[in-house]
A = this chain, B = another copy of it.
Amino acid sequence: MDTNAAPSAAHAAMQTKSIGPRDSRTFADRCRMVRRTTEQLCEPLAVDDYMLQSMPDASPIKWHLAHTTWFFETFVLSRYLRGYRPFHPQFGFLFNSYYEAVGPRWPRAERGLLSRPSVAEVYRYRAYVDDHFARVLSGLPAEIANLPAELAEQAATISLGINHEQQHQELMITDLKHGWSMNPLHPVYRDAISDAGDPPPLNWVEFDEGLRSVGACGQGFAFDNEAPRHRVFVNRFAIASRLVTVADYLEFMDDGGYHRADLWLSDGWAARCAGDWTTPLYWRQEEGAWSVVSMAGVQPLNPAEPLCHVSYYEADAFARWAGARLPTEAEWETASAGIPIAGHFLEAGRFHPAAAVAEDDRGPLNQLYGEVWQWTASPYISYPGYRPPIGALGEYNGKFMSNQMVLRGASCVTPRSHARRTYRNFFPPGARWQFSGLRLARDCE
């Protein structure tokens, strides 16, 4: 019986480099690669898995496949490919996510009810759109710097679509993981991984007070919410050299962390009580031994690995318990200046954060990217002078600027070329199904 049959080594195919600014491939090649990666991510799945929607926040794989395609159809092909005929008259209704300007749409919580179009038809949809997309791409040069205005707009929209699809690659894994985590048969996506060794010690790295410049400077792709670059006065602070580990968090738990209201924000305590949280998401305990749901099924919990799948509320409570706090966005961006982007990303095929080992301890700050997103103390609001784009694409980021917190870095399911120092990820403070952990900071007197 093969319910949990480990996949073929399909994901190995992804271990090649993906789209990225420092890439020697053409823009068109990088676009094609991203589209292909999305489909490669599905290779270990049964058709049944494509329709799974375990909560309103998560979407079925089938929907991700179609929605990312709809994005190109709507914002690229319909605008820039003369005579383009949409694949199906109702797919705009079914696969629009939240663009009010584009029209009504299928309710988010009911995406799992769409048994049709079938998976097979969604793949035909992708092929149809990719076929037409190739024609648009063929009209662009190998590199997209310094294009004339008309082509620059096309290239920018395509870049947005590609980055959008990369975001959905990450969501496909997080949503699938959530759906499978509820299945008592423990489906398996890839083989188990054994990490060994102890994490390096936690050091505090200090930074002086001063006026800092924060945000994207306009070189290379960035989302609108990363701009404009602006000045922030930052007090003297210290930040931890590495991520908080499972071992660190077990101390908090052993000290009653989930049972001491004084450590929690009021909303956090309410969430903890309503959800009956007593561990991070996906942890289990049997006969004293901790295990965790991973993409390799239920596996023993490794104390050395970065803490993952905690909400902002848990991150905040842990930091308070530790006599520290979360860093602000500005502090994180200050501290990460000049540090290269390295770590385990989607292409590593792990789909699980890696424990830091001594030899990773190469600089003053480690694990800034890859592994887990890091909750910050900063609510997700606009930067001073922020202006969203005109039209439907203006709904991309700005309209979510309330009741969410910023996460920085990148995770083990973020495509490598998608990680950036100025990247602002954001989720509601109670969200736990993303690969989210934390790094500590503290004031310096």
Q: A3-B116, A51-B51, A118-B48 are in contact. Are A266 and B233 (CB under 8 A)?
A: no
Q: Which of chain B's residues has its CB closest to A121's CB?
A: B3
Q: Chain B nearest CB: distance from A445 CB in Å?
A: 9
Q: Are A399 and B264 in contact (CB under 8 A)?
A: yes
Q: Chain B nearest CB: distance from A380 CB in Å?
A: 9
A205 interfacial by beta-carbon distance below 8 Å: no
When chains A and B are docked, how far (Å) is the Cα of A443 from the Cα of B124? 48
Binds B, one of A74-82, A87-95, A282-290, A340-348: A87-95
**Chain B residues with Cβ under 8 A from A2's Cβ?**
121
A40 interfacial by beta-carbon distance below 8 Å: no
Q: Are A265 and B400 in contact (CB under 8 A)?
A: yes
Binds B, one of A163-171, A175-183, A216-224, A409-417: A175-183
A187 interfacial by beta-carbon distance below 8 Å: yes
Contact of A113 among B52, B121, B266, B385 (CB under 8 A): B52
Q: Which of chain B's residues has its CB closest to A391's CB?
A: B262
A401 interfacial by beta-carbon distance below 8 Å: yes
Q: A88-B1, A182-B110, A443-B385 are in contact. Are A100 and B46 (CB under 8 A)?
A: no
Q: Are A115 and B51 in contact (CB under 8 A)?
A: yes
Contact of A235 among B46, B88, B379, B384 (CB under 8 A): B384
A295-313 interface (Cβ within 8 A of B): 312-313
Contact of A233 among B231, B265, B378, B395 (CB under 8 A): B231
**Chain B residues with Cβ under 8 A from A199's Cβ?**
none
Interface string of A82-108 (1 = CB under 8 A from B): 000001101001100010110000100
A8 interfacial by beta-carbon distance below 8 Å: no
Q: A48-B51, A233-B231, A429-B402 are in contact. Are A262 and B100 (CB under 8 A)?
A: yes
A42-89 interface (Cβ within 8 A of B): 46-52, 54, 62, 87-88
A24 interfacial by beta-carbon distance below 8 Å: no
**Chain B residues with Cβ under 8 A from A54's Cβ?**
113
A381 interfacial by beta-carbon distance below 8 Å: yes
Q: A184-B90, A184-B93, A384-B443 are in contact. Are A401 and B115 (CB under 8 A)?
A: no
A427 interfacial by beta-carbon distance below 8 Å: no
Interface string of A252-288 (1 = CB under 8 A from B): 0000000001101111110000000000000000000
When chains A and B are docked, how far (Å) is the Cα of A90 from the Cα of B186? 11
A215 interfacial by beta-carbon distance below 8 Å: no
When chains A and B are docked, how far (Å) is the Cα of A46 from the Cα of B116? 8
When chains A and B are docked, how far (Å) is the Cα of A87 from the Cα of B313? 38
**Chain B residues with Cβ under 8 A from A88's Cβ?**
1, 3
**Chain B residues with Cβ under 8 A from A100's Cβ?**
261-262, 269
A1-29 interface (Cβ within 8 A of B): 1-4
Q: Are B399 and A185 in contact (CB under 8 A)?
A: no
**Chain B residues with Cβ under 8 A from A261's Cβ?**
100-101
Contact of A262 among B47, B48, B101, B185 (CB under 8 A): B101
A137 interfacial by beta-carbon distance below 8 Å: no
When chains A and B are docked, how far (Å) is the Cα of A231 from the Cα of B210? 10
Q: Are A117 and B182 in contact (CB under 8 A)?
A: no
A431 interfacial by beta-carbon distance below 8 Å: no
**Chain B residues with Cβ under 8 A from A110's Cβ?**
182
**Chain B residues with Cβ under 8 A from A232's Cβ?**
233
Given contacts A233-B233, A377-B381, 9 further A-B contacts (CB under 8 A): A47-B48, A48-B62, A48-B119, A52-B113, A52-B115, A114-B183, A116-B187, A117-B185, A262-B394
